[in-house]
Structure 1
Amino acid sequence: MDPRSAGPRYFHDDDDVYKSSDVLLYSRTSHDVSSYISLQKETIDCFENIKTLLTDKHFIKHVKPCKKERKRIQEELDRNIRDLKRRDGSIVFAGETSSGKSSIINAILGRKILPTGILPTTTRVCRIRNSEKLMISVRDKNDEEVRDPIPVSTTESMAEQLKTLAKTLDTRINYVDISLQVPFQQGNLTIVDTPGVGDIDQTNMAKLMMDYLPNALAFVFVINVPSAGGFQKDRFIPILEKVKESLDEMVSFDHEDVIFLLNKWDTLLEDDEQKIYFEDTKKRIRSIWKETKPTRILKLSMKKAFEEHDEMFNCFKNELIVLLEKNKERRLKVHVRLIKSFVTECEEIVSPKLEYAKKTAGTSETALKEAQSNISKLEKIWQKESLNIDASVNRFLDEVTNQFHGYIHHPHFKSLLLKDLKTSWRLKMGSDLNAQIKRKTKLWEDTHINQIYEETFVKNIDKELRRICGPLADSLIKGFKVPFYIDNKIIKVIIPSAISIAGGVVITVFLLQPNVALGVATTGAVLSGLAAFGYIDNFETVCKKAIDVRLKNLSKTKIKKSLNERYAKAIKSNIQNALEEMKTEIDELRKEALNDYSNMLSYMELNDKLFECQKDIHNIEQKMLNRLD
């Protein structure tokens, strides 16, 4: 007998509820199964490729440098792969024991296949798949075959075999796979009848059902109305709680894909009682499962004599059609979409960087050679100035000595000192003069030392630096980073702002020398005593002579010697530090020039890998479309 004629193609054998004309007749052939497995494997391979990409050094550096984020992505990929390996698109019927799940599924199939009755009849997870061949297969908890498949010739003999299996005590059997022609089950959709949650002696069956729930793409929760309103804490509520606990693992599940069937509605005889119960139940369900659509909380009675039976069943049929249509190939679609989203996100990071790298670094070796040439010129300046440190220090000391000597021996300096001494008197004049000389020379040092340093050292290399670095700063060596900018960094680094040249130290050294000290005494108390007898000059003349004594002792040779002893080491150290920093930045610039070219190659490699992922995804999508055509 041709199995395709083994029963009418309706949901229900009496009521024209769901004819084959409502959907395309789809046959689950061996080719169809193998093509799905092939697509499943290709999609898993895509995830594995992304996992490999996560460990790629270029990906880590340029796309996802954060270790925590990579770990999170890794965990998501593993979760997605686990979900994708769940081959079936399961529409799971769940509820408490004897709520009528099996009877409803039989009505959907249009024939009595699953055992039904007042006592618990579903003792295993029954998975119903569309196929041209009638077949029963029994599997263990690892989804491995326990025995050879059982071929059957008619749906009647299939029903008898299933009734026998329900009574068998073989504890190895966890799953019963039922293959028959089910026109409305397109793609890899599978209708699953699960053992109910019931009394304590049915704990094992309940656990079997709970363990299977995370495999679902959609649920039909069957609520047993006569059983305390269907919401017993030890029965229906635990099912919903289990689903909620499993949501993280149910990557392909949409919270809206749930139908609540209030079965055995005919047991509520009073219209008022029915209305109040229905409204209360809807509120309770919405409070437990907020995403529930109002149209998916439905009344149902499987008693044909109940006058509202046809209308109720049609409402359920229409919602089920929508659910089935939405979930055709859903698991593949969800994961392909997730891969596309990830790859697109990565491309949005890599593509602009690649374009920028192409524009800046260029693809020719000419740009790189030009950059390296300019870097070499900078390095030559560094080498030249490093060899000339002693000469630079000496040049600085000569210039300070000349300018300082010229300043203190200028008539204007002497006139300033005389002017300040007008308010002094003979006994205090010597100390006042020393104080004035120290104050004025410190002021000169504060305003001239750094300026002379810049003039004698910085400007010697500034012109060369500008000639070389100027074009680099303007063009950024076609994108290569210039680590220093002339106006904002070079001069600031080289000016010895960190050196504290204590103003007046040079002068103090000379003022403490014996011959100068004698001059101070002469202009002090001794001169005051001689003046009383008329043997000395007037006060102004005394002041001029005191100034001359001090300034005469400050020769260029002595000034330079003092400066050299005090400051040459500090200035030399400052120059060396500035040049070392310049050398470090030259090395960084050379490294950056090479890195930018290397980065461009890294971006190109990453871009190629992402392109391959996109191409693989596109091929999978095309094959999915062909499967459903």
Structure 2
Amino acid sequence: MLQKKMVLTLYHDLESFLKSEDFENDLKENLEISHPNYLKNLERRKKDMQKSDHAIVVAGETSAGKSTLINKILGKRIFKGDNLESTGTICKIRNSERIALSVEHMSGEKEVKDLTDTCDLETKEGIENLRKTLNDLTNMTDSKKSVQLKSVDIGFPVPFLKGDTILVDTPGIGGSGDVAQKVMEYLPNAVSFVFVINVGSAGGMQNDRLPKILKSLVILGIQNEMPCFDPKDVLFVTNKWDTITSCDSDSEEEDRQKEKTWKDVKCKIEKQWCAVQQKNIFKMSLKEVNTFQFSIDLSMR
């Protein structure tokens, strides 16, 4: 927090100097040539520093396995998975000593529920109570209320989410509503971006869905709106490999089919996101993973 205040003070002092009469005109002209709109960009960076939350954003197609991935990361089955479009609301998970939900309505109205006494996450019953409460608020197949909510903020002990870092679960791309717009609200100040892909769906990449998000990311980068993570650090989790089976019982043929799909999906990812690193493309069947250790660099700027 002290470092953040120091950086904000530096931004303020620099901005004051650049606007002052002491800043020589010839230097100002050279700066405008080398860094057009420098004052506007400086203002963006200052506002960015003032934001309280820094998100690890998890996105992907409908039913790709985003909620399952987050459950594995948290080590608890907090979210209910569904084969249909399930998560209809942005869910933000943050580290908190107490277990509480903060619900934000589309109108901007907020309500807070303290669940510490009824949701002991060290017990199976407590986890089930929290999961049911979240499901009632966010699952579009079970509840119509989720459509009316902008976001649900979930607080409980998550030690790896240090400081103001939050984990964001987003609605599936390709479902109802403008999901891309919802996701984009969190990307400018994100510290990491994870995209989950269902390899059992059209070879793993829906051409009319994934490019929309990735194109928006590129535009943000061009506009200097996304300073928090490097494009080459974006993570792609390819999921549901257990659904790829051969039409016959030949295991060798099934292996060849999976290898072909793997090459195809990597090629499509590289085409849509040229900055991707091979080491950041993961291959797994999340439902078959018992304990999932997912290391993310949470260092602040």
Asked if 2 retains the 8 angstrom alpha-carbon contact of 1:263 and 1:301, the reply is yes
- Rate the CA distance shift 1:192–1:177 in 2: closer, same or farther, 3 A: same
The structure where strand makes up a greater share of residues is: 2
Alignment of 1:273-422 (within 5 A): 273-304=257-288, 309=289, 317=293, 320-321=294-295, 324=296, 326-329=297-300, 333=301
Alignment of 1:79-98 (within 5 A): 79-98=44-63
Q: CA deviation at 1:140?
A: 4.7
Structure label with greater radius of gyration:
1
AA at the equivalent of 1:126:
C
The reply on whether 1:135 has 2:107 as its aligned counterpart is no
Asked if 2 retains the 8 angstrom alpha-carbon contact of 1:152 and 1:158, the reply is no
The aligned counterpart of 1:179 is 155
AA at the equivalent of 1:178:
I
Alignment of 1:107-126 (within 5 A): 107-126=72-91
- Rate the CA distance shift 1:48–1:117 in 2: closer, same or farther, 3 A: same
1:195 to 154, 171, 186: 171
2:110 to 124, 141, 146: 146
2:206 to 225, 232, 246: 232
Q: TM-score by structure 2 length?
A: 0.83
**Unmatched 5+ stretches in structure 1:** 1-35, 334-629
C-alpha distance after superposition, 1:295-319 (max 9, x if no partner) = 1111110233xxxx46xx76xx3xx
The aligned counterpart of 1:259 is 235
Q: Which SS does the other structure have where 1:174 is aligned? A: strand
Q: CA deviation at 1:92?
A: 0.8
**Unmatched 5+ stretches in structure 2:** 122-126, 246-253
Asked if 2 retains the 8 angstrom alpha-carbon contact of 1:83 and 1:250, the reply is no
Q: Distance in 2 between matches of 1:205 and 1:290?
A: 23
1:46 to 10, 14, 19: 10
The aligned counterpart of 2:135 is 163
Q: Which SS does the other structure have where 1:184 is aligned? A: coil
Q: TM-score by structure 1 length?
A: 0.41
Q: CA deviation at 1:61?
A: 4.4
Q: Distance in 1 between matches of 2:105 and 2:26?
A: 47
Q: Distance in 2 between matches of 1:259 and 1:40?
A: 27
Q: Which SS does the other structure have where 1:251 is aligned? A: coil
The aligned counterpart of 1:271 is 255
C-alpha distance after superposition, 1:258-297 (max 9, x if no partner) = 1111110111221001111112221221222222121111
Asked if 2 retains the 8 angstrom alpha-carbon contact of 1:124 and 1:195, the reply is yes
- Rate the CA distance shift 1:226–1:191 in 2: closer, same or farther, 3 A: same
AA at the equivalent of 1:256:
K
Q: Distance in 1 between matches of 2:199 and 2:54?
A: 28
Q: Which SS does the other structure have where 1:186 is aligned? A: coil
Q: Distance in 1 between matches of 2:105 and 2:7?
A: 26
Alignment of 1:351-500 (within 5 A): none
> Which protein has greater RCO, CA pairs closer than 8 Å, 6+ apart?
2
AA at the equivalent of 2:13:
N
The aligned counterpart of 1:215 is 189
Q: Distance in 2 between matches of 1:150 and 1:168?
A: 23
The aligned counterpart of 2:251 is none
- Rate the CA distance shift 1:171–1:101 in 2: closer, same or farther, 3 A: closer
Asked if 1 retains the 8 angstrom alpha-carbon contact of 2:98 and 2:114, the reply is no
Q: Which SS does the other structure have where 1:47 is aligned? A: helix
The structure where helix makes up a greater share of residues is: 1
Asked if 2 retains the 8 angstrom alpha-carbon contact of 1:95 and 1:239, the reply is no
Q: CA deviation at 1:74?
A: 0.2
AA at the equivalent of 2:137:
L
Q: Distance in 2 between matches of 1:266 and 1:225?
A: 9
The aligned counterpart of 1:337 is none
Q: CA deviation at 1:130?
A: 1.3
Q: Which SS does the other structure have where 1:98 is aligned? A: coil
C-alpha distance after superposition, 1:115-138 (max 9, x if no partner) = 321222211111111121111111
Q: CA deviation at 1:39?
A: 4.9
Q: Distance in 1 between matches of 2:177 and 2:257?
A: 33
C-alpha distance after superposition, 1:506-531 (max 9, x if no partner) = xxxxxxxxxxxxxxxxxxxxxxxxxx
Q: CA deviation at 1:158?
A: 2.0
Q: Distance in 1 between matches of 2:9 and 2:89?
A: 33
